[in-house]
Amino acid sequence: MKSTDAKPPIAEIKPTRLENHGDVRVDNYFWMRLSDEQKAAAIKDEQTENVIAYLEAENKYYNTIVGYTNNFQEHLFQEMKGRIKEDDSSVPYKNNGYFYNTRYEVGKQYPIYSRKKGSLDAAEEILFDVNEMAKDFDYYQLGGLNVSPNNKLVVFATDTVSRRQYFLRIKNLETGKIYDDIIENTTGGSVWANDNKIIFYTKKNPVTLRSEKIFRHVLGTPTSEDVEVYHEKDDTFGTYVTKSKSKKYIIISSFATMTSESRYLDADTPTGNFTIIQPRLKNIEYNVSHYKDHFYFLTNKDGATNFKLMKTSVHQTSVAHWEDVIPHRKETLLEDFSIFSDYLVLEERTNGLHKIRIKRWDDTKDYYLPFKEETYAVGVYGNPEFDTDIIRYSYNSFTSPSAVIDFNMATKAKEIKKQQEVLGGKFKQENYKSKRVWATVRDGKKVAISLVYHKDTPLNENTPLLQYAYGSYGHTISDRFSTTRLSLLERGFVYALAHVRGSEYLGREWYEDGKMLNKKNTFYDFIDCSQFLIDHNYTSPKHLYAMGGSAGGLLMGAIVNIKPELYHGIIAAVPFVDVVSTMLDDSIPLTTGEYDEWGNPNHKEFYDYIKSYSPYDNVAKKAYPNILVTTGFHDSQVQYWEPVKWVAKLRALKTDTNLLFLDTNMETGHGGASGRFESLKETAKEYTFLLALENKLAQL
């Protein structure tokens, strides 16, 4: 980046003494935390003014330093936008006699939701034009669309703050009228009873945002009269409500990281009482589906680490009556299943690769769909129709644009309903290479790294490489195609996705070995993958970059404390970096529900372990790489003050002259901008940071 006289802001030091288990931490920037009321400007005081002033100063510093790249950022934005088909449309799906579709129009940021009755040739009925709904808001998210069984009403959810606290409303699809019923502070989801009058929904705790209560609402009645039908009182659990695909049962489920519990109610008698299926048993998980006279469970019961499928009669639901349908397999993770009238569809993962298995209920057919690439991503759609032979799934890879495919499970005929178009005229699939390599890490485990690059990119110590990972909650990032990533690949970057422990890439044990008191395995895996890429001449520390967001941002914070010399640049998006203080504060959203992921630092063993890796607590006087940190002021997942405090502490202690930027979006939360094009501007910022460090801005 070009030199400038601009000086970074220096945050005021106001020491706060924090003591736990006889251990004292001094937090010089604890004062940067504002309440929701302060953030909403309902309270204006000196602290609020000081925090806002600091955030604005950081933004000004960042924008001043990178100002010379503005033209390039705009070019990059237009380049990425130019690959997107602006007048795009989803593949219509059939549900209860209607074909539903989501489409975009040229130049517009938000989708239009529509449907056609009975046939794709029927007249289009617009359900929602989100462009009109969002025009007066800086941020707008429409979700939770849920059409009533008689097709006449739809529940919809809106969030205009980006804090994931949704308003629920109901629209009459025959008259266009939006009813006066407004339900605040929900998760956004809802369930219709079969009478077309009653909905069930989930309320959040207004402070912690934990999904804790299920209510029943009768259309047209005051929301103050809504009936609480379930309260999840254990603050380490959340709850939600769904409807079985068979439409027969309404199901309330409670969940913690390692334990779950469900209860059911006949959807024809919505004012009745819910019946528990199986009371919660510690470390036993089960997800419920219904088919004919049985409930089916994806569960880890009986030590089924990689999960198995079981069933029981709807009349005898306790665990003692459960029986195996698909037994546990040591080498195969059972991720999900879908039930059709004649078929059972299983989503599995073996040796890191996702597979789809088709099995007839009468056992006359049992086979896997064939996929030929070395690494790829495949996923089964919701498939709301029950009595059908057609399953819809998506397929893509690092080099193959996404395809939506209808597969006939009886005839095995395949129809590609839509192939993602990459506009701009430059993309040719054969110009890109992808492969998977395995790095042996310090404890002998083999960690997969998926790579993609342009075929003309030389692989040597001068090759710029961006290494990405997440590594928490068992979330596995698949090797998916990205049109935006092409802007890096076309400029000589290699993209590497490290499948570190903490994901479920190699099964449930891979996750268990990267959480709680094993969390450091995630960090060491990433570092050892970086060293592998350097040792095998894919890149060098002068050209190696790393990126992660949220819990992946924690990963970034950890690796730069442990091995900063390996990286030339780091992008930490909405990073979870103040782990000790956050996990000690049960008033912060998500904290209590995450004790099974990170450990509860109210217990000394976990306190000591978390403190030993918490990025904020381990910032030291030493050299750090170039770092770009992003956050959203209204973030409900990772509160803004975590990355802000981290940057302030880095500024005070780091001994290098490398770049350190904090970019705070004052209008959004965890997911960033809501418009499809606005989000590209954020990506353009991140890519410009990398390309500037590689002196590639001239390559327009």
* Closest of 164, 161, 166 to residue 145, by C-alpha: 166
Mean pLDDT of 466-472: 97
Take residue 494 and report the two structure tokens written for it.
């290699």
Q: What is the pLDDT of residue 376?
A: 94
Mean pLDDT of 25-54: 87
Q: What is the pLDDT of residue 669?
A: 57
Note if the pTM is more than 0.75. yes
Ramachandran quadrant class, 314 (left: phi over 0; alpha: psi -120 to 50; beta: rest): alpha
Q: What mean pLDDT value characterizes the chain? A: 93
Mean pLDDT of 517-537: 98
Ramachandran quadrant class, 118 (left: phi over 0; alpha: psi -120 to 50; beta: rest): left
Q: Measuring CA to CA, how many Å separate 544 from each of 372, 462, 494?
A: 31, 9, 10
Q: What is the pLDDT of residue 107?
A: 84
Q: What is the pLDDT of residue 699?
A: 47
Q: What is the pLDDT of residue 678?
A: 83
Q: Which position has the higher pLDDT, 381 or 549?
A: 549
Q: Which position has the higher pLDDT, 6 or 608?
A: 608
For the stretch 298-320, pLDDT in tens is 999 999 999 999 999 999 999 99
Would the pLDDT of 356 be above 90?
yes
* Closest of 588, 601, 398 to residue 519, by C-alpha: 601
Would the pLDDT of 666 be above 90?
no
Mean pLDDT of 611-640: 93
Q: What is the pLDDT of residue 700?
A: 38
Cα-to-chain-centroid distance, residue 218: 32
For the stretch 72-86, pLDDT in tens is 999 999 999 999 988
Catalytic residue among 635, 636, 663, 674: 635
For the stretch 87-96, pLDDT in tens is 888 899 999 9
Q: What is the pLDDT of residue 383?
A: 84
Tell me if residue 670 is catalytic. Answer: yes
Q: Which position has the higher pLDDT, 422 or 36?
A: 422
Mean pLDDT of 327-356: 95
CA R_g for the chain: 26
Q: From start to end of 21-136, where are the E strands?
A: 23-27, 93-95, 98-103, 112-117, 125-129
Would the pLDDT of 567 be above 90?
yes
Take residue 13 and report the two structure tokens written for it.
């030091």
385 pLDDT band, cuts 50/70/90, is confident
For the stretch 120-137, pLDDT in tens is 999 999 999 999 999 888
Cβ-based neighbours of 553, under 8 Å, separated by 6 or more: 572, 573, 574, 575, 576, 577, 638, 643
Q: What is the pLDDT of residue 102?
A: 93
Tell me if residue 635 is catalytic. Answer: yes
Which among 137-146, 394-403, 417-426 has the top mean pLDDT? 394-403
- Number of Cβ within 10 Å of residue 552's Cβ equals 28
Mean pLDDT of 551-558: 97
- SS (HEC) of 517-575: HHCHHHHHHHHHHHHHHHHCCCCCCCCEEEEEECHHHHHHHHHHHHCHHHCCEEEEECC
For the stretch 238-259, pLDDT in tens is 999 999 999 999 999 999 988 9
For the stretch 485-494, pLDDT in tens is 999 999 999 9
For the stretch 54-75, pLDDT in tens is 999 999 999 999 999 999 999 9
Would the pLDDT of 624 be above 90?
yes
Q: What is the pLDDT of residue 43?
A: 65
586 pLDDT band, cuts 50/70/90, is confident
Tell me if residue 612 is catalytic. Answer: no
Would the pLDDT of 3 be above 60?
no
Take residue 619 and report the two structure tokens written for it.
């910032």
Q: Which position has the higher pLDDT, 556 or 695?
A: 556
Q: What is the pLDDT of residue 40?
A: 73
Q: What is the pLDDT of residue 76?
A: 96
Q: Of all residues in the chain, what percent carry a pLDDT higher than 70?
A: 97
Q: Which position has the higher pLDDT, 200 or 106?
A: 200
Mean pLDDT of 683-690: 96
Q: What is the pLDDT of residue 671?
A: 54
Q: What is the pLDDT of residue 361?
A: 94
Q: What is the pLDDT of residue 42?
A: 60
For the CA atoms of 454, 456, 457, 461, what is the dihedral angle to 10 degrees?
150
Q: Which residue type sits at 509?
A: E
Asked if 420 and 404 count as a contact pair (C-beta separation under 8 A), the reply is: no
Catalytic residue among 254, 397, 434, 550: 550
